[in-house]
Structure 1
């Protein structure tokens, strides 16, 4: 199991070695590489200096300044949307080619799920709001992040993160039915799982996922999204909750045995 791959195709190619299946919980794209500003889509397009400025703004609390700065960068390109899609497709070709068969994958917020059908098949199963049987257990998948209430998406933006309302997340969780392993990109809404100790702020967590855990008591809840969580494991009654990322940096998959 891996999450938050962010472009690490080399390690992804080894992640399924010796396993019956590979589970990928999203964030395949390396859009902004906060560890190496020369990498990622922004680094490739704008260079490390400008990415460094963006990263510094992103760490602050002035969201309007961050949005204004990144908008000024995109406005300097003749066709920013085509530039981004070309870069995303290039990464996806490498990443999906690296997946071993069988792979069961759901997108994260740093993904373009509308492009995923191009890469499904040949042992790669894309699921979102669906379930699959793996090794006699029922795995349910729900991808994406959560939309910020009240934030209106700019229709002219060159790229959109995959986010959904909590209501839409709840619907996806309901559609999959009762499962043994709940697979989401974002964690359930538990403070120890959502707080990032490096960013020093809570990240997204799903109330609907937490409610499903309390209501249906799956054996495991697995997820990623929070790169440096306060706690990687928390037990909620019968359910073991595990953050299986940050694969881009660790290069090590989480192994689930039963």
Structure 2
């Protein structure tokens, strides 16, 4: 199975066009949150991806709520947030939002570490963990070199040991990757990232 994955589209028409074009070769498309900006114009942002024919699995970022994403998602799109799905024999579990709570204010959809840990406890096994935020210590550095990832996400990855954990959120770490045990962690960014299962 060829999987195309991305994060942090942020309503970019140019980025969306490249993803739609790439998706012609994909068996599955994964979107790791932040499709719009500051909870604005999410339906229009999702429409930029309407040319994708492959099944799509998405999690909400901190720029859209789970309910908003569910309402804006097109047919053939599965929204995960503290929930799982099986596609083509692959077990997927997704958790969106900013973890830990961001400094961005009331518009941002965030979870405390404790709430995230509670939602992640529902996952006993997964081949792919789809997250918006990165785990603590991997692909989570700001431009100032500060590690802002989630301890709850790191602990879940250590426990579950999926084959890959996909995330975004920290723009300065787009394209960065690392290992937590057997799990490869990748901060995707809004360009096509390919994985084969």
Instruction: With the length of structure 1 as denominator, give the TM-score of the two structures.
Output: 0.65
Q: Map 1:20-31; keep pairs closer than 5 Å.
A: 20-31=27-38
> How much does 1:185 deviate?
0.5
Equivalent of 1:112 in 52, 65, 78: 65
> How much does 1:135 deviate?
2.8
Q: Deviations over 1:87-142 (max 9, x none)?
A: 52453352352443311010111223332222335101111111112332211100
- Given that residues 35 and 46 in structure 2 are in contact (C-alpha distance below 8 angstroms), is that contact kept between their aligned partners in structure 1? no
RMSD: 2.5
Corresponding residue for residue 157 of structure 2: 213
Query: Is the aligned partner of 1:184 residue 2:131?
Result: yes
Query: Is the aligned partner of 1:135 residue 2:88?
Result: yes
Equivalent of 1:5 in 4, 9, 18: 9
Q: Map 1:43-62; keep pairs closer than 5 Å.
A: none
- Ranges in structure 2 where 5+ consecutive residues have no aligned partner: none
Larger radius of gyration: 1
- Given that residues 106 and 143 in structure 1 are in contact (C-alpha distance below 8 angstroms), is that contact kept between their aligned partners in structure 2? yes
Return the structure number with greater strand share: 2
- Given that residues 131 and 166 in structure 2 are in contact (C-alpha distance below 8 angstroms), is that contact kept between their aligned partners in structure 1? yes
- Ranges in structure 1 where 5+ consecutive residues have no aligned partner: 32-84, 155-159
Equivalenced residue count is 190
Relative to 1, partners in 2 of residues 1:131 and 1:230: Cα closer, same or farther, differing over 3 Å? closer
> How much does 1:231 deviate?
7.3
Corresponding residue for residue 24 of structure 2: 17
> How much does 1:13 deviate?
2.1
Q: Distance in 2 between matches of 1:175 and 1:15?
A: 33
Query: Is the aligned partner of 1:202 residue 2:155?
Result: no
Secondary structure of the residue aligned to 2:6 is coil
- Given that residues 101 and 122 in structure 1 are in contact (C-alpha distance below 8 angstroms), is that contact kept between their aligned partners in structure 2? no
Secondary structure of the residue aligned to 1:169 is helix
Relative to 1, partners in 2 of residues 1:175 and 1:121: Cα closer, same or farther, differing over 3 Å? farther
Instruction: With the length of structure 2 as denominator, give the TM-score of the two structures.
Output: 0.84
Q: Deviations over 1:146-192 (max 9, x none)?
A: 2549x8x65xxxxx1111111111122122331111110111111x4
Corresponding residue for residue 73 of structure 1: none
Secondary structure of the residue aligned to 1:29 is coil
Return the structure number with greater helix share: 1
Secondary structure of the residue aligned to 1:210 is helix
